[in-house]
Amino acid sequence: MSIASRSAVVRKLCPLLFVQDINRSIEFYRDKIGFKMANQAETRGKVFWCWLERDGAAIMLQQAGEEDGPAEGRGSGVVFYFICDDAEAMFAELTSRGLQLKLPKVAYYGMKQLFVPEPDGYSICFESEVEPHAQKLS
């Protein structure tokens, strides 16, 4: 098959997050957010990289080292929006796992958003569409 006859299909985005304590981050994404471990790499019995998935979303975590620069400000200006079916259902699920969260709110553009604090300072938000009549009430 020639290059010209192939299609350039993008199937998934999987961001790589450099984290200060990979075990803490794995616990957060797996035990609190509900992701499942799909793959991992170890050295001397310690995980230094992993791939986590939940439904159609994926995220990679990597233990940060000196070569990755300072941790301060690493997640500044970066927000990960996970589109979900129901932000309120996500709120109920995550709070049942012990997360202390503010109730979801409707953004000015009509999406219900649930922001979740992340251990390394990255911003994550679960958002869902709002029915047209609910937009006017919120």
Residue 68 confidence (pLDDT): 78
Q: Distance between the two ends of the chain, CA-based, in angstroms?
A: 54
Query: Could you give the CA distance from residue 57 to residue 86 in angstroms, rounded to a whole number?
Result: 15
Query: Could you give the CA distance from residue 93 to residue 75 in angstroms, rounded to a whole number?
Result: 25
Domain harbouring 27, CATH code: 3.30.720.120
Among 15, 6, 9, residue whose Cα is nearest residue 82: 15
Residue 4 confidence (pLDDT): 67
Say if residue 74's pLDDT is above 90. no
Q: pLDDT (tens digit, 9 = 90+) per residue, 109-122?
A: 999 999 999 999 89
User: How large a percentage of the chain has pLDDT more than 90?
Assistant: 72
Tell me the C-alpha to C-alpha distance, in Å, between residue 62 and each of 15, 48, 56: 11, 6, 20
Give the domain extent around 89.
73-138
Q: Residue range 85-112: average pLDDT?
A: 96
Q: Residue range 12-36: average pLDDT?
A: 96
| Cβ proximity of 27 and 47 under 8 Å | no
Say if residue 73's pLDDT is above 90. no
Residue 8 confidence (pLDDT): 83
Of the given ranges (16-25, 73-82, 88-97), which has the lowest mean pLDDT?
A: 73-82
| Cβ proximity of 59 and 17 under 8 Å | yes
- Residue 56 structure tokens: 């159609």
Of 47, 66, 85, which one is at a domain's C-terminal end? 66
Q: How many domains does the chain have?
A: 2
